[in-house]
């Protein structure tokens, strides 16, 4: 497990993009695991600028709101279209996403796991982290053995999205997400975090005991995980 502390957000993003481009240039048909959230906006912006060929890349996003249509402006798919997919040359058929409007959650989640396997697994997964230590939509308490599934989203996290959904009550109570085990199967993981509000979660994930109350703490066990942090996010590390 590696931790890279950069002087600011800009440097952290540059470092993450550099690592990503190295991996993609070494393997043109790499399978990418992608994330959403504010942290990812500058990352995608910089990744687009890196002028990488994405024509053979496949992507799997971590999660989607349940039950939100992919075309809804608040869907995580719309976020990805806006900030990344519409700006790079990834063939649409290579973009894999959980369908937040699925009629059969079990089939949808099992299919996602199968699709990842069929392509020999995720080669490189980018992750953000929630203020409560969640990764994907895997909230504290999620089993480390979980695969892609439907989960409850905590009030704490729903609160953060109140503005987007124009009121707390409109924020979905559920999400579909890769499980912790799905994420851990990725060959390489890069977790990106900036700002003081992430410092507690980062300290718990890196210095705390590995336990299900802090989903990101499982990354201590991953063979090739790198945390790229700005000074503020790293400020509570021992
Ligand atoms: C969301 C996403 C996560 C993301 C996290 C942090 O709930 N499902 O994938 O890492 O929150 O988001 P942000 O980067 O906006 O702080």
pLDDT for position 188: 98
pLDDT for position 177: 98
pTM higher than 0.95, yes or no? yes
31 confidence band (pLDDT: 50, 70, 90) = very high
Q: What is the mean pLDDT of residues 65-91?
A: 97
Q: What are the beta bridge partners of residue 235?
A: none
226 confidence band (pLDDT: 50, 70, 90) = very high
Distance from C-alpha of 35 to C-alpha of 40, rounded to nearest angstrom = 7
Distance 193 CA to ligand 1 centre (A): 10
Q: What are the beta bridge partners of residue 126?
A: 190
pLDDT for position 190: 98
225 confidence band (pLDDT: 50, 70, 90) = very high
Annotated catalytic sites, by residue? 63, 132, 134, 139
Q: Give, using CA atoms, the residue closest to atom 13 of ligand 1.
A: 37
Which ligand 1 atom minimizes the distance to the CA of 137?
Answer: 8
Q: What is the mean pLDDT of residues 119-132?
A: 97
pLDDT for position 51: 87
Distance from C-alpha of 226 to C-alpha of 128, rounded to nearest angstrom = 12
Distance from C-alpha of 27 to C-alpha of 20, rounded to nearest angstrom = 11
Distance from C-alpha of 74 to C-alpha of 50, rounded to nearest angstrom = 27
Q: Give the rounded percent of residues in the chain with a pLDDT score beyond 90.
A: 100
Domain boundaries, the chain: 2-230
Average pLDDT, rounded, for the chain: 97
pLDDT in tens, 145-188: 999 999 999 999 999 999 999 999 999 999 999 999 999 999 99
Residue 106 — φ and ψ, nearest 5°? -60, -50
Overall fold of domain 2-230: Rossmann fold (3.40.50)
Q: Best of 129, 193, 214 to mutate for ligand 1, by most ligand atoms within 8 A of CB?
A: 129
* pLDDT above 90 for 2: yes
Distance from C-alpha of 121 to C-alpha of 56, rounded to nearest angstrom = 15
pLDDT in tens, 34-54: 999 999 999 999 999 998 999
Ligand 1 pocket, Cβ-based, cut-off 6 angstroms: 35-39, 62-63, 128-130, 136-137, 157
Q: What is the mean pLDDT of residues 122-135?
A: 97
């Amino acid at each position: 497990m590696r931790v890279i502390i950069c002087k600011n957000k800009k440097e952290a993003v540059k470092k993450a993009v550099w690592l990503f481009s190295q991996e993609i240039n070494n393997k043109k048909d790499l399978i990418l695991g992608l994330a959403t959230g504010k942290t990812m906006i500058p990352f995608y912006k910089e990744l687009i600028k890196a002028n990488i060929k994405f024509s053979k890349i496949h992507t799997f996003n971590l999660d989607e709101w349940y039950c939100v249509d992919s075309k809804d402006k608040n869907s995580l798919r719309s976020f990805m279209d806006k900030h990344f997919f519409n700006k790079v040359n990834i063939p649409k058929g290579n973009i894999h996403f959980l369908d937040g409007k699925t009629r059969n959650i079990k089939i949808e989640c099992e299919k996602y796991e199968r699709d990842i396997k069929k392509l020999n697994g995720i080669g490189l997964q980018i992750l953000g982290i929630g203020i409560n230590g969640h990764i994907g939509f895997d909230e504290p308490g999620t089993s480390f053995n979980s695969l892609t599934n439907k989960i409850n989203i905590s009030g704490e996290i729903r609160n953060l999205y109140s503005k987007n959904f124009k009121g707390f009550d409109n924020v979905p109570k559920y999400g579909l997400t890769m499980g912790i085990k799905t994420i851990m199967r990725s060959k390489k993981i890069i977790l990106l975090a900036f700002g003081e509000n992430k410092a507690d979660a980062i300290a718990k994930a890196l210095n705390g005991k590995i336990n299900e109350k802090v989903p990101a703490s499982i990354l201590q066990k991953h063979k090739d995980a790198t945390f790229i942090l700005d000074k503020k996010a790293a400020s509570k590390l021992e």
